[in-house]
Each structure stands twice: as C-alpha cells, then as structure tokens.
Amino acid sequence: MTSLMKRSVAELVGTLLLVYFGCGAAVITLTTAARESGPLQALSIGSLGGLGDWLAIGLAFGIVVAAVIYGLGRVSGAHINPAVTIALFASKRFPLTDTVAYVAAQLVGALLGSVLFFLSVGMDAVTIGGLGATAPAVGITFGMAILAETIGTFVLMMVIMGVAVDENAPPGFAGLAIGLAVAGIITTLGGVTGSAINPARSFGPAIADLLLGGPNVIGALPIYFIGPILGAIIAVFFYDWIVKEN
C-alpha cells in the first residue's frame, strides 16, 4: 500500500485542483458578470441566478473531479472531500489515523488552491469574486441551507458507494459517474447554497478571503460542514442497508 504521506499529498493536490478550477470557474463567472453590469463591485456567489451559469460552474467542478479521480484515485482513492472521508470512517471502512491525515490534507489543499488562484488572477478574484466562497442565497435560512447541502451530499455519496466503494462496482466508470453527479448537483443547488457538498471546498475560499481582505463568510461555514458530513454519513449507512441481502 502507498504510504500515508504520499496518499495525503495526493489528497492535498487533488483538493487544491478542485478548488483552483472549480471555485475558479465561479470567480470568473462573477467577475465577468460584474464587468458587464457597470461599475465593478463585489458580488456574492448567491447572486448567480441563471441556470446556464450554474451549469458551466457545475461542469467545471465535475470535469476536475473526474480528472483527479482518474489521475490520483489509484494512489489515495481521491476522496478530496472531508465528508466522504469521515463517512467512510463512520462505517468502519477507513482508519482513524488516515482519516485525520486525509481531512487535514484536504483542508490545507483547499486553502492553497484559493491562494494560488488569487496569485494567478489578481485581487479582483478576491474583492469581486470572493474566491468563489459559498453562502446561502437571499431568502434561504440556515436550516434550509443545511438541508439542501445534506440532500446534495447524500446523492453524491450514494453514487460514490455504488461506483467506487462497492466491490461489485463496474470498473472504469467512477470518475465519469461521480463527476457527472457533482455537475448535476451543483447545477440544481448552486442558486440555493452555492452547492459546496464538500466542507473543504467552502473552507478554502472562506479562509483565503479572510486572509486577503475579501468578503467575510465565516459565519456560514457551519452549514458546509454540518450538511455535507451528515448527508454523506446517512448515505453510507443507507447504502449498506439497501444493498444488504436478506
């Protein structure tokens, strides 16, 4: 088995790429919208209401997820999502030491991905695009946002269980299936919560914004930890129950 250090580095790099390209797509969408609307001003990801915008962002996330799974999956399993790692630990599929190392690597990778995107694009990525940080849309309460994130991550984890974890899963389709699931979930829920379905994806931009002078969305972070972790854990145990032979 590949060493824990190498697997953790793979998780760090995979999550870095997820945030750089996925959140980067959200930033570009926001900055483009700001330039087209007149005087430049900061926009919230929740202000993106068009389905076309969310489809494009969802596809960017889905494609990079597929790329990371096919590129690094054989090294670390390409969790690139603390909710996935914690759910596998909760179902006794993943040891505690590895879980702690993976989650730490994912969070650090997400922060580095946001900082690298800022260094690639400039201050507009922070002041206008907020580095793609997530926050609920207008009219969406804390509880509603947690529910949406729980359901979205439940669907994602169900797909992961079926195509990647289950020993009877058909080989070769994990990247495509999981990537498409991510794209579809973001297309639908993006206008509700920003559709993180991944605590690291929200953590990286939120902390980078705080460090670089962007919008302060730290208060919304619990949504993107509680909802995804809860949804992933429910999905794992539901999958185990539903496929268990009587």
Mean pLDDT by 10 residues, the chain (246 residues): 94 98 94 65 55 92 98 97 98 97 98 98 94 94 98 98 92 95 96 96 98 95 98 97 79
Q: Return the CATH number at 203.
A: 1.20.1080.10
Rounded to an integer, what distance in angstroms lies between the CA atom of residue 137 and that of residue 50? 13
Among residues 117, 120, 139, 140, which one has the least CA distance to residue 130?
A: 117
pTM here is 0.93
Q: How many CB atoms lie within 10 A of CB 14?
A: 28
DSSP symbol at 245: -
Rounded to an integer, what distance in angstroms lies between the CA atom of residue 183 and that of residue 129? 20
Helical segments of the chain, H only: 4-17, 24-36, 51-76, 82-90, 96-121, 124-127, 142-160, 174-193, 199-212, 221-243
> Tokens standing for 185?
């979930």
Total domains present in the chain: 1
What pLDDT is recorded for position 192?
94
Among residues 170, 2, 14, which one has the least CA distance to residue 79?
A: 14
Q: Which long-range contacts (CB under 8 A, 24 or more apart) does 166-171 make?
A: 166/239, 166/243
Burial class (CB in 10 A: 0-12, 13-18, 19+), 175: buried
> Tokens standing for 214?
């962007």
* Orientation angle between helical segments 142-160 and 221-243, nearest 10 degrees: 40
State the residue range of the domain holding 147.
Answer: 4-243
What pLDDT is recorded for position 47?
53
Rounded to an integer, what distance in angstroms lies between the CA atom of residue 205 and that of residue 110? 7
What pLDDT is recorded for position 40?
46
Q: 154 CB contacts (<8 Å, ≥6 apart)? A: 231, 232, 234, 235, 238
Cβ atoms of residues 224 and 196 within 8 Å:
yes
